[in-house]
Amino acid sequence: MAIVLGDNQYGKAETRLVRVVRDGERHELRDLTVSVALAGDLATAHTDGDNSRVLPTDTQKNTVYAFASEYGVSTVEDFGLRLARHFVNSQPSIHRARVSLVEHGWQRLGPHSFAHAGAETRTATVTCDRSGAWVVSGLADLVLLNSTGSEFVDFVTDRYTTLPEATDRILATAISARWRHASADSDWEASFHGAREHLVAGFVDTYSRSLQETLYAMGQRVLAHRPELVELRLSLPNKHHLLVDLAPFGLANSNEVFVATDRPYGLIEGTVARDDAPPAGLAWW
Amino acid sequence: MAIVLGDNQYGKAETRLVRVVRDGERHELRDLTVSVALAGDLATAHTDGDNSRVLPTDTQKNTVYAFASEYGVSTVEDFGLRLARHFVNSQPSIHRARVSLVEHGWQRLGPHSFAHAGAETRTATVTCDRSGAWVVSGLADLVLLNSTGSEFVDFVTDRYTTLPEATDRILATAISARWRHASADSDWEASFHGAREHLVAGFVDTYSRSLQETLYAMGQRVLAHRPELVELRLSLPNKHHLLVDLAPFGLANSNEVFVATDRPYGLIEGTVARDDAPPAGLAWW
Amino acid sequence: MAIVLGDNQYGKAETRLVRVVRDGERHELRDLTVSVALAGDLATAHTDGDNSRVLPTDTQKNTVYAFASEYGVSTVEDFGLRLARHFVNSQPSIHRARVSLVEHGWQRLGPHSFAHAGAETRTATVTCDRSGAWVVSGLADLVLLNSTGSEFVDFVTDRYTTLPEATDRILATAISARWRHASADSDWEASFHGAREHLVAGFVDTYSRSLQETLYAMGQRVLAHRPELVELRLSLPNKHHLLVDLAPFGLANSNEVFVATDRPYGLIEGTVARDDAPPAGLAWW
Amino acid sequence: MAIVLGDNQYGKAETRLVRVVRDGERHELRDLTVSVALAGDLATAHTDGDNSRVLPTDTQKNTVYAFASEYGVSTVEDFGLRLARHFVNSQPSIHRARVSLVEHGWQRLGPHSFAHAGAETRTATVTCDRSGAWVVSGLADLVLLNSTGSEFVDFVTDRYTTLPEATDRILATAISARWRHASADSDWEASFHGAREHLVAGFVDTYSRSLQETLYAMGQRVLAHRPELVELRLSLPNKHHLLVDLAPFGLANSNEVFVATDRPYGLIEGTVARDDAPPAGLAWW
């Protein structure tokens, strides 16, 4: 028996970048958090303290800023591809680079004025090795709520079940969605906005017998409309809104007064995919 | 010398309330976090364990839900006034009630569908005693950014000063603002939207020689346009965006590439008021 | 009627400082978050964009690091006094300086190795003007729990009361305490550890008929044992632990199985003071 | 081409449980956050809104509380195994149950009094299917710091490298570690404390030429001393402490004054394993 090093990677996480484009009166603003993770011939760094193949994480951070200056930031996907390919192509010891990007939205208030758009973020993770590149796009913290059009009945019961059936309830969730592209070359901007639009419509338009049903409807709808996408992974917390019992006060509560609870919460996770999707390769992590 | 009880208050904090109005197809949604704090003849509760004048905080929570059912939630100010007056008027031992409300915004997506609007919240604090009521409205976490139109020069220097002058910089802040009303009877909805509009315009339209100057411009502008308001208090973190030094990579940086930093941050706090404002009474806390 | 500038202050918040003392093998470590707020002749900075009396917040940050080097950090109180006095004494336009310090604890693991001690922090706020200095020490996020020895009965009831009486319950809180010193010259280290010891003992040793009673017992006990302290302010969230109803499963629950809830929570705030305490001056904020 | 449902699971996340043992004067306290995730024949729940195989997440929560009452909570591993086996064995449609547990520590202050122990948590994830059970134990948020005994030199440089070599630096990290057991039957308590002790010793005793080297030393040491463990996964943020440049103030800085930074941070992730480890099966997630 021997003790050995297994999978490993390293990099700079959460580099905060704001890129302004100042061509003329009307400025553009991109606000990103960028994380880099590199893997390769790094065994002796672990076992012998040999840094001769270790590109410092500080250099990775510098590269993010320098590339933002040299090439600009068009989309998170393009910027991530450029960074990931750079590390794999320029460092012989690095075999795989994964760049995860979070874009924070801003709404325009004027030619050079902006308001932060809220918690929702656009995300991308780009993974490259010497054989190719994989792109996963997505969004996080998109919080949606239907105040009716949701039920939960006819479920399994056992000794520990006390939940009453609900024929009309609030359904609310904070969507985390990631979708895999068929190729590493796409119209990222159109694809993102199309996928987001169909996620939202899938939530809004589905009469929901469970959050599972809503999850599938959302994923199905995105894939049906976006041929460039082959697989979606959704993670949906059920943000419970509990009906308050007002009977002790002599009041009825016909689905009007709710407690929004923090914990615990249901968590519904699922994948929707094309049955002819190409292999995922290194896309997921 | 004796040891004595001084100022004290107690209550239920952060009661989460979602109120749906279901009159017809088109639902309305109000999402609040409500905190109650009561003060009065509570000395023996502290010194003797005598609870005979203590209305449980659990009851306060119940009252929030019952009132939401019975009276609805029109504005945070009205709902807060109703709650605060109830506690003072119904409990002989309670002399002062303070109700702090935070409203979380939702954007309409459909007749009964909504998307969470982001981090910005609308706030109100209502304070009542037997002599009257005071209302302070406000907002928090409204994050604004100007990508030019800001400088910081001609400041004091001492032995510890290394900051270079900046003739063109990003100015960004997360506005926390509270404004005191002349009376406890107003058109809360119009007042809030008017104050918010002028805060934003004050930020966007001001050429800024410091965040202090922007603060005053915002406050001055709100008071000039909203006669029902008499005093504003603003707390403005300077969300620093530091210019990245790209010279080591042979690149210029003409205000295009920035690091958005978390800590430390400047914090600029100030009050803007009418010189004939009525006494603040119990408005502030 | 005119619109005027009222109270204002500005400064650098949350400067993160780690100071190592390396005299010999055994290192010492102090880990602080320091916030500075200055007030004075700053009206024209707000109204005219005149920065000629504004010491940059960046300079304030530099001063924190330089003083940590030059003078070391013995206690948060001493370090805060040195900083606050420096700003008032060296800047003619600054009339008041307030320095708030949070110390993060580390436990020793070896001569130069440490483990972070947890969420509890030691705090101090030092305020100086040309007439003197005031020191408030304290702690935050000290979470204590008694699994018995607490009841809540004989309280007021009204139409909205549903809470049953509890003759045996869990009592838990996260203590935020601040105590004012009689003078700006004291044995800060002994005072802090003494105050903390009696706060804890006050919680542990008191049979509690309400969190209010526990609050007063804690404050009374600290003042009775620490003659250098004249006033305490305590803010105690009631971290509710709700008994789970196991009856539906045919199980009893004799105070053994609880839900720890996040929100809402009771919030009990109070002051305990000597009746001959000197005036508070600028101590509180 | 068809659109199909892929991997999916659902459950109740972050159920907060406090279990008191009251046998006699001296109480015992266990404080857990428990998350359950179930997978099985759930396709029609997604595609047809058919809940006939869905055990409500509310029931899962109830089961956590009921089992805490009926069986007590000895260790997170044992409690997790009991829960996971229950779901798989009692629900024909559930083929896999994963229970993730986080234990929050409390230090004893008296027979029934406790102080919260800080941010560090003990963790376990137990996964069962009809063929067996897998146990991964761990800890999170154990923050360690060495104020010397760390260097970073002889690394790769490229066009974007500006980092100077450091022959003496602070090394600090927040350890997240998970270790896989050879079997689902072990002395969990002894194993946890042994693994934790050797993780800490590995950090403290290693002269570090990189955080990668420290990672491997920690993992190697745990496996060398704990034969019941077969694989460790470590995730180590490099909590950078940057030397402050005091030269502008005419001061030297011989590794005494540091800025503790929040973002960005290095992130070093790695696995250390026995080369004869049994297959991981469903252990990881």
If chain A, 285 residues long, is cut into consecutive pieces of 10 residues, what is the mean pLDDT of each piece?
96 98 95 98 98 98 98 98 98 98 98 96 98 98 98 98 98 98 97 98 98 98 98 98 98 97 98 97 94
Conformational region of residue D220, where left means phi above 0, alpha means psi within -120 to 50, and beta covers everything else: alpha
Confidence of residue B23 (pLDDT cuts 50, 70, 90): confident
Q: Do D271 and A8 touch (CB under 8 A)?
A: yes
Q: Contact B276/B227 with Cβ under 8 angstroms?
A: no
Select from A88, A104, A129 the last residue of a domain: A129
Q: Do D160 and B262 touch (CB under 8 A)?
A: no
Q: Is B237 a member of any domain?
A: yes
* Mean pLDDT, rounded, for B207-211: 98
D135 and D231 in a single domain? The answer is yes
In tens digits, chain C (285 residues) has pLDDT values of 799 999 999 999 999 999 999 989 999 999 999 999 999 999 999 999 999 999 999 999 999 999 999 999 999 999 999 999 999 999 999 999 999 999 999 999 999 999 999 899 999 999 999 999 999 999 999 999 999 999 999 999 999 999 999 999 999 999 999 999 999 999 999 999 999 999 999 999 999 999 999 999 999 999 999 999 999 999 999 999 999 999 999 999 999 999 999 999 999 999 999 999 999 999 998
pLDDT at residue number D92: 96
Q: Do A144 and B116 touch (CB under 8 A)?
A: yes
Tell me the chain C residues in contact with residue A262 when contact means C-beta distances shorter than 8 Å: 262-263
B191 and B249 in a single domain? The answer is yes
Q: Is B6 a member of any domain?
A: no
The H or E element spanning position C175 is: strand C171-181
- Chain B's closest residue to C237, CA to CA, is B13
Does the structure show a pLDDT above 90 at B52? yes
Tell me the chain C residues in contact with residue A159 when contact means C-beta distances shorter than 8 Å: 249
Tell me the chain D residues in contact with residue C214 when contact means C-beta distances shorter than 8 Å: none
Q: Do B3 and C275 touch (CB under 8 A)?
A: yes
Q: In Å, how far is B25's CA from the nearest CA of chain C?
A: 32
Does the structure show a pLDDT above 90 at B82? yes
**Which domain CATH number covers C278?**
3.10.270.10
Does the structure show a pLDDT above 90 at D23? no
More confident residue, C1 or B191: B191
DSSP 8-class letter at D201: H
Mutate to test the interface with B, among C158, C209, C236 (most CBs of B within 10 A): C158
Q: Is A106 a member of any domain?
A: yes
Q: Do D69 and C170 touch (CB under 8 A)?
A: no
pLDDT at residue number A23: 87
pLDDT at residue number A125: 98
Q: Is C1 a member of any domain?
A: no
C58 and C99 in a single domain? The answer is yes
pLDDT at residue number D129: 97
Q: Is C219 a member of any domain?
A: yes
Does the structure show a pLDDT above 90 at B1? no
Select from D127, D157, D179 the last residue of a domain: D127
The catalytic site residues of B sit at 12, 57, 240
Select from B123, B154, B186 the last residue of a domain: B123
Q: Is D2 a member of any domain?
A: no
What residue ranges in chain A does DSSP mark as E strands? 3-13, 15-21, 28-40, 94-110, 113-129, 132-146, 171-181, 229-238, 241-243, 257-260, 265-274
Mutate to test the interface with C, among A157, A162, A239 (most CBs of C within 10 A): A162
Chains that touch A (3 or more CB pairs under 8 A): B, C, D
D160 and D21 in a single domain? The answer is no
Which two three-digit tokens encode residue C64? 């924190």
The H or E element spanning position C5 is: strand C3-13
B166 and B87 in a single domain? The answer is no
Q: In Å, how far is C250's CA from the nearest CA of chain A?
A: 9
Nearest Cβ partner for A249 among C159, C248, C262: C159
Nearest Cβ partner for C113 among D115, D204, D255: D204
Q: In Å, how far is C47's CA from the nearest CA of chain D?
A: 33
The catalytic site residues of A sit at 12, 57, 240
The catalytic site residues of D sit at 12, 57, 240
Degrees, nearest 5: CA angle A60-D269-A132: 60
Q: Do B162 and D262 touch (CB under 8 A)?
A: no
Q: Measured in whole angstroms, how far is the alpha carbon of residue B12 from the centre of its chain?
A: 19
Q: How far is Cα D126 from Cα A212, in angstroms, rounded to an integer?
A: 24
Which two three-digit tokens encode residue B82? 């109703």
Which residue segment(s) compose the domain that A234 sits in?
131-285
A136 and A76 in a single domain? The answer is no
Query: Per residue in B154-177, pLDDT tens?
Result: 999 999 999 999 999 999 999 999
B144 and B265 in a single domain? The answer is yes
Nearest Cβ partner for A159 among C249, C262, C263: C249
Q: How far is Cα C176 from Cα C239, in angstroms, rounded to an integer?
A: 13
Q: Is B240 a member of any domain?
A: yes
pLDDT at residue number C228: 98
Q: Do A162 and C263 touch (CB under 8 A)?
A: no
* Mean pLDDT, rounded, for D102-113: 98
pLDDT at residue number A168: 97
pLDDT at residue number B210: 98
A189 and A276 in a single domain? The answer is yes
A34 and A109 in a single domain? The answer is yes
Mutate to test the interface with D, among A171, A268, A271 (most CBs of D within 10 A): A268
Tell me the chain D residues in contact with residue C70 when contact means C-beta distances shorter than 8 Å: 251
Identify the three-state secondary structure at position D33: strand
Does the structure show a pLDDT above 90 at D241? yes
Q: Is A1 a member of any domain?
A: no
Nearest Cβ partner for B65 among A21, A70, A246: A246
D139 and D228 in a single domain? The answer is yes
ipTM for the whole complex: 0.97
A81 and A145 in a single domain? The answer is no
Peptide bond into D56 cis (omega under 30): no
D42 and D95 in a single domain? The answer is yes
Does the structure show a pLDDT above 90 at D20? yes
- Chain B's closest residue to D162, CA to CA, is B248
Number of domains in chain A: 2
